[in-house]
Amino acid sequence: MTKLDSKIPGGNLADKWTNYKSVVSLVSPANKMKLDVIVVGTGLAGASAAASLGELGYNVKAFCYQDSPRRAHSIAAQGGINAAKNYQNDGDSVYRLFVDTIKGGDYRAREANVYRLAEVSNMIIDQCVAQGVPFARDYGGSLDNRSFGGAQVSRTFYARGQTGQQLLLGAYSALSRQINKKTVTMYSRREILDIVIIDGKARGVIARNLITGEIERYSAHAVVLASGGYGNVFYLSTNAMASNATAVWKAYKKGAFFANPCFTQIHPTCIPVVGENQSKLTLMSESLRNDGRIWVPKNKDDRRKPADIPEDERDYYLERRYPAFGNLVPRDVASRAAKERCDAGYGVGSSKLAVYLDFADAIKRLGKKVIEERYSNLFQMYEKITDENPYETPMRIFPAVHYVMGGLWVNYNLMTTVPGLYALGECNFSDHGANRLGASALMQGLADGYFVLPYTIGEYLSADIRTGKISSEHPAFKEAEENVKEILNKLINIKGSKTVDQIHKKLGKIMWEYCGMGRNEAGLTKAISLIKELKEEFWKDVKVPGELNEFNTELEKAGRLADYIELAELIVRDALHRKESCGGHFREEFQTEEGEAKRDDEHFAYVAAWEYNFDDEPLLNKEPLKFESIELKQRNYK
């Protein structure tokens, strides 16, 4: 039944990418100038792709909704970026990084893609250093590494607690250089509201100019989506306020399959929620788990100050349950363990939905100065937000929605099921399986943008050198534009009684409650009907103030929420169908006696790629996952 061709090249796993690169079709420099490429989003994947394509000589049109490409949310990644450099001489290799990533992803990622990712990881570090990214160094002048969750080697490169920022600024500077050279035209403050398909191929986008409200048409020979994840479906998440799924959702509705939407990552170390008005959750880098110890009191409802609780009355539950990895277990495991303790009544803080992350031992062992050097900016941020000093009292943390492994289905070339439509970075599904390891998102975004797409897109575009300019006067553009205008008109004319945020908060609660860290059939079934009700409520009763042709933040938010509601239903549907626990997807019906996730490789070792079916239920397509170089095992971090 599958319509999916993953186009994985033949040969040994280790040779696939090399072989592919040697035979892939090329486009001559003179022809590249005649080809236009649209890149949506300017995060790590988008900016690096746009810059690299510009360097190659393509005409690139890059889009972002922010005022500047430098604001993309990749900037908020704190901890680091993985690479198999083995600079620490601790036995790392491309193969090990590959294995860790597949295993960390609970065997739900595509082998060939992950191997390629591990393979190009080293080049990313070289590239970033050449661009001037100030990675941490030791006194001899060479690069420093730290360890990270899910790995037993130190392979994470970092720039204080601002690695994402520094990598993004590197890509942004490369992009700026191309803008200056006029190979890239930058369109800021534009939101992509539809993908235009001509004769079955992606040939352009419809954008809204967020300053003037004008609807604009842009044509190209290929469209690259690098628009990030959809974590904001949950309302409260660590994503940026305006991070959105609109572009990928419109792509889905135009025929791109959506893969594994239920694989959402809950990050274990975030600052707990404090009030109803909270708009956003703040992440505390996972790197804190290197030196911090996580614990809760052994007694339920212990109201003593953390410092007054003696050592033998503390439960260092991660060290207890997972002695081999201790506080460094992967994110999904750490998050679920925190939830388990809080559900059992051992939570701390006023809401009882928090656990302690304690640095007292690390400060005693290494001295305050070392801890300051490693984490001062994070500690400062924590103190500003909570008014508590983490040097003196343990941090309170709780899991929060952080990343989505699911996304548009892509083949080995990163092309979706729509010819000419590519998806890179977080908005595709390919490399992280059911759970992403720390410091791998940055690696994947940059791998896709710098080192994969520039090769693979050539294969597609080489067939387009005689096509000539794509006209934005084509009826398909007109139709898409009218469709966009109709939706916007509809939104602004509902004039109901509820604000966008009110409805978004409701959606978030449904998702967190029934499709968060623990999921079960009854809850998911209920969630589907609740989401359907909410959709109806939204289209009947939302209130969008202002005009169409002006700067209108509420209108932007309403459009995004309309898509989130539909996407939420697909997420729940996917979660319902996947009757196993794996990675970030934990079905309460499928767990071991000790409460660990129980995978079902016999029935679910596939990628679930959902196909839009208009008003009917979406169709499920399966891409079976074949593991040839790695043996499937139940994950064990004990």
Partner 1 sequence: MNLTLKIWRQKNSTSKGKLVKYKLDGVSEEMSFLEMLDMLNEQLILQDQDPVAFDNDCREGICGMCGLYISGRAHGPDVGVTTCQLTMRNFKDGDTITVEPWRAKAFTVIKDLVVDRSAFDRIIQAGGYISVNTGSMPDANSIPVSKRNSDLAMDAAACIGCGACVASCKNASAMLFVSAKVSHLELLPQGKIEAAERVQNMVKKMDELGFGNCTNTYACEVECPKQISVSNIARMNREFLHAKVCKEKH
Show contacts with partner 1 in window 106-145 (CB under 8 A): 123, 125-132, 134-143
Q: Choose between 302 and 501: whose C-beta lies nearer to partner 1.
A: 501
State the minimum distance, in angstroms, from the CB of residue 75 to partner 1: 5
Q: Choose between 467 and 497: whose C-beta lies nearer to partner 1.
A: 497
Q: Is position 29 an interface residue for partner 1 (rule: CB under 8 A)?
A: no
Q: Is position 389 an interface residue for partner 1 (rule: CB under 8 A)?
A: no
d(CA 504, CA 489): 20
B/e letters for 106-132, b = 16+ CB within 10 Å, e = fewer, are: bbbbbbbbbbbbbbbbbebbebbeebe
d(CA 226, CA 408): 11
Chain positions 319 to 348 lying near partner 1, rule: CB under 8 A, are none
State the minimum distance, in angstroms, from the CB of residue 78 to partner 1: 9
State the minimum distance, in angstroms, from the CB of residue 280 to partner 1: 4
Q: Are 416 and 621 in contact (CB under 8 A)?
A: no
Q: Is position 85 an interface residue for partner 1 (rule: CB under 8 A)?
A: yes
State the minimum distance, in angstroms, from the CB of residue 172 to partner 1: 7
Pick one of 31, 88, 152, 173: the residue that binds partner 1 (CB under 8 A).
173
Q: Choose between 129 and 630: whose C-beta lies nearer to partner 1.
A: 129
DSSP state string for 129-158: HHHT----B-TTSSBP-B--TT-SS--EE-
Q: Is position 384 an interface residue for partner 1 (rule: CB under 8 A)?
A: yes
Q: Choose between 241 and 522: whose C-beta lies nearer to partner 1.
A: 241
Query: Per the residue annotation, which of 160, 331, 374, 578 is the catalytic one?
Result: 331
Q: Is position 172 an interface residue for partner 1 (rule: CB under 8 A)?
A: yes
CA distances from 200 to 195, 241, 609 (A): 12, 33, 19
Q: Which has the closest alpha carbon to 566: 539, 586, 543, 602?
A: 539
Pick one of 8, 13, 75, 94: the residue that binds partner 1 (CB under 8 A).
75
Pick one of 199, 308, 312, 387: the residue that binds partner 1 (CB under 8 A).
387
Burial label, 526 (beta-carbon count in 10 A; 0-12, 13-18, 19+): middle
Q: Choose between 124 and 528: whose C-beta lies nearer to partner 1.
A: 124
d(CA 38, CA 185): 10
Q: Choose between 87 and 316: whose C-beta lies nearer to partner 1.
A: 87
Chain mean position to CA 143: 27
Pick one of 14, 24, 76, 620: the residue that binds partner 1 (CB under 8 A).
76
Chain positions 206 to 235 lying near partner 1, rule: CB under 8 A, are 211
Q: Is position 190 an interface residue for partner 1 (rule: CB under 8 A)?
A: no
B/e letters for 564-593, b = 16+ CB within 10 Å, e = fewer, are: bbbbbbbbbbbbbebebbbbbbbbeebeee
DSSP 473: T
d(CA 528, CA 530): 5
Contacts with partner 1, 584-613, as mask; x by CB under 8 A:
------------------------------
Q: Choose between 13 and 400: whose C-beta lies nearer to partner 1.
A: 400
Pick one of 8, 34, 46, 52: the residue that binds partner 1 (CB under 8 A).
52
DSSP state string for 356-399: EEE-HHHHHHH-HHHHHHHHHHHHHHHHHHHS--TTTS-EEEEE
CA distances from 395 to 157, 271, 346, 359, 386 (A): 25, 8, 16, 8, 9
Q: Is position 186 an interface residue for partner 1 (rule: CB under 8 A)?
A: yes
Q: Choose between 488 and 558: whose C-beta lies nearer to partner 1.
A: 558
State the minimum distance, in angstroms, from the CB of residue 380 to partner 1: 7
Region binding partner 1 by CB under 8 A among candidate stretches 464-472, 533-541, 544-552, 573-581: 544-552
Pick one of 8, 44, 151, 159: the residue that binds partner 1 (CB under 8 A).
159
Chain positions 253 to 282 lying near partner 1, rule: CB under 8 A, are 274-275, 277-280, 282
Q: Choose between 418 and 446: whose C-beta lies nearer to partner 1.
A: 446
Pick one of 183, 219, 238, 417: the residue that binds partner 1 (CB under 8 A).
238
Residue 171's contacts (CB-CB under 8 Å, 6 or more residues apart) are 44, 47, 48, 51, 131, 446, 449
Question: How would you list the strands of the sheet with 407-408, edge to edge?
Answer: 407-408, 258-259, 606-611, 619-624
Q: Is position 33 an interface residue for partner 1 (rule: CB under 8 A)?
A: no
Q: Choose between 51 and 439: whose C-beta lies nearer to partner 1.
A: 51
Cα separation of the two ends of the chain: 40
Q: Are 480 and 153 in contact (CB under 8 A)?
A: no
Would you state the structure tokens that stand for residue 585, as one six-digit string?
A: 């997807």
Q: Is position 166 an interface residue for partner 1 (rule: CB under 8 A)?
A: yes
State the minimum distance, in angstroms, from the CB of residue 128 to partner 1: 8
Chain positions 550 to 579 lying near partner 1, rule: CB under 8 A, are 550-551, 553-554
Pick one of 2, 68, 592, 634: the residue that binds partner 1 (CB under 8 A).
68
Q: Is position 546 an interface residue for partner 1 (rule: CB under 8 A)?
A: yes
Q: State the DSSP H helix or E strand holding residue 224, giving kind and residue range, or none if neither.
A: strand 222-225
Chain positions 416 to 455 lying near partner 1, rule: CB under 8 A, are 450-451, 454
Pick one of 13, 38, 44, 51: the residue that binds partner 1 (CB under 8 A).
51
Contacts with partner 1, 475-514, as mask; x by CB under 8 A:
----------------------x-x-xx------------
Residue 343's contacts (CB-CB under 8 Å, 6 or more residues apart) are none
Q: Is position 73 an interface residue for partner 1 (rule: CB under 8 A)?
A: yes
**Catalytic site includes residue 336:** no
Neighbours of 499 (CB within 10 A): 16
Beta bridge pairs of residue 215: 208
Q: Are 151 and 330 in contact (CB under 8 A)?
A: no
d(CA 582, CA 435): 8
d(CA 360, CA 375): 14
Would you state the structure tokens that stand for residue 60, as one six-digit string?
A: 């690139």
Strand 421-423 to strand 222-225: parallel, antiparallel, or no bridges (unpaired)? parallel
Region binding partner 1 by CB under 8 A among candidate stretches 60-68, 359-367, 612-620, 628-636: 60-68
Region binding partner 1 by CB under 8 A among candidate stretches 22-30, 259-267, 379-387, 471-479: 379-387
State the minimum distance, in angstroms, from the CB of residue 507 to partner 1: 16
Q: How many residues bind partner 1 (CB under 8 A)?
A: 82
Residues acting as catalytic residues? 331
